[in-house]
Structure 1
């Protein structure tokens, strides 16, 4: 196995460390991806030479800001803040179609997206969004239309359900591009060919939390080069 390059550190203090997680890297070992030996937790632990505690999750295919605690007390303090919704998060997403310019998706979600929703407790879930750009590319996915429409979105999940952004945008019929579970394969393939990049188009660009002295701490991860054509349309 080739050595993994050092993970980019966005913030480091005595309590927490934040990295810019690349797409395709697990946060921690998972039975759902048992063959994958690499994870951000293992790599960063080795990089810093200390034990770490993940404070939240990003899907393997999602890139962006990922925060770990550096000691058990910080894990308890910040873990409660993430659980209670006291931490603000902002994502970039590319979705199919042109949603409204701004809005909220207030739709309860089953606890485990890997299982059928029927019979599971449905948990209150709220996502706020703003459309940053409407994009129309000159290729056809649906034979009724000569071109295909997509939108660049700024997204703020106000609750922390698993796959929340992906499931909510599927709910309003604007699934994320590159989402192999909740999206549309034909659009995923067409956009990958057009842009020359195959990925889930979801990036955690900003986290805002209260620092140890009560001051707001903002941690940001710039979107990768593959996002440039989309950001230029904004």
Structure 2
């Protein structure tokens, strides 16, 4: 689970980010990305990277305008590729989040939040650009963090009716591939489980695992990176 912060993000550099006008428009990836998140799903270890387009940069007062962001998922090992399928634009915001520390204490962090949905059997190395248009001010927000809240879409989630099961309804098996992150199975019986991939709760509850504090969300959901200006 993500108890510790994963690293830092530098907002002092800006790169051109092209927001596509339609889904068929191709984007040429820029290699200058910063690491923000890592996890493992379906036995595949993957990382998420980002680059930002900023303006009005003031290194003295530690402030800038974040105009856009471009995320990319890279699969490192495993047999099933994952990819980014959605970034919720209405969840790109400043918000306070409660974080469970390694020593069992709780911290309140001011975060620039991104809710990123990933899905198995998707294309790797595919850029996903989003508009941001938010002000970052280090003096106003003493410690600012970039928060990635990873969500998982079921492996066989369909956005259109394919004749096998209702539209928008997940299914345990399709094309002989079993969705092991959404379902448990024993022989012919499938049970859907939501324990591993539920959204973080607004109020932090601290259950225990082997008598040690455990986060209330599932496996490797949120990741935090401190925002710096150099």
Higher RCO (C-alpha under 8 Å, 6+ residues apart): 2
- Which structure features the higher share of helix residues? 1
Structure 1 or 2: more strand by fraction: 2
